[in-house]
Amino acid sequence: MAIEYKRLTENELDIYIEMRINQLREEGATEDIDLTPALKDYYNRHMADGTFVSWLAIDNGKIIGTSGMSFVEKPPYFGCPSGKIGLVSSMFTDPDYRRMGIAKELLDRVIEESRKYGCGTIQVTASDMGVKLYSAYGFVHNDKFMQYKL
């Protein structure tokens, strides 16, 4: 098995979106709305302006792993003097390919993208499965993350 890694392009976007929705369902999302148009709009806009990148893992032409990194900027603070933050998302590996180092390779690649962008920190909201990957990579838990839904 020779896994190929490549950056997401518009050509793979429909499959990527389908996999993102499947990932969210696997993680417990139960809402009954069609996210496809909103995801397509988001990825098209942010891939075009360079504030979203993704790497894919491909085996024999089939996408078997995804990753994503969104770049945001907020006022600089002591923990992130650049104010540039990378937000990890869409980390998913086909169940038949898990525990083979694919997710780590994808994470390596999007973290390198965040370095190039000038990020001072990277954040992730991890699923139960993802906690082991991120902890092993060196991510530390931060209990300060909260959300207000409008």
What average pLDDT does this structure show over 127-131? 81
In 3-state terms, the chain is what percent helix, strand and coil (to 5)? 40, 25, 35
What average pLDDT does this structure show over 47-58? 97
- Indicate the Cα dihedral angle 124, 130, 134, 140, nearest 10°: 60
How much is the pLDDT for 146?
A: 55
**Do residues 20 and 63 lie in contact, with contact meaning Cβ atoms separated by under 8 Å?**
no
Residue of 127, 121, 113, 139 whose CA lies nearest to 46: 113
Residue of 35, 42, 43, 38 whose CA lies nearest to 13: 43
| Average pLDDT over all residues of the chain | 91
How much is the pLDDT for 150?
A: 52
pLDDT at 145 over 90: no
Higher pLDDT, 122 or 145: 122
Higher pLDDT, 135 or 57: 57
pLDDT at 109 over 80: yes
What average pLDDT does this structure show over 18-26? 92
What average pLDDT does this structure show over 82-100? 94
The number of helix segments (H) and strand segments (E) in the chain equals 4, 6
How much is the pLDDT for 79?
A: 86
How much is the pLDDT for 125?
A: 86
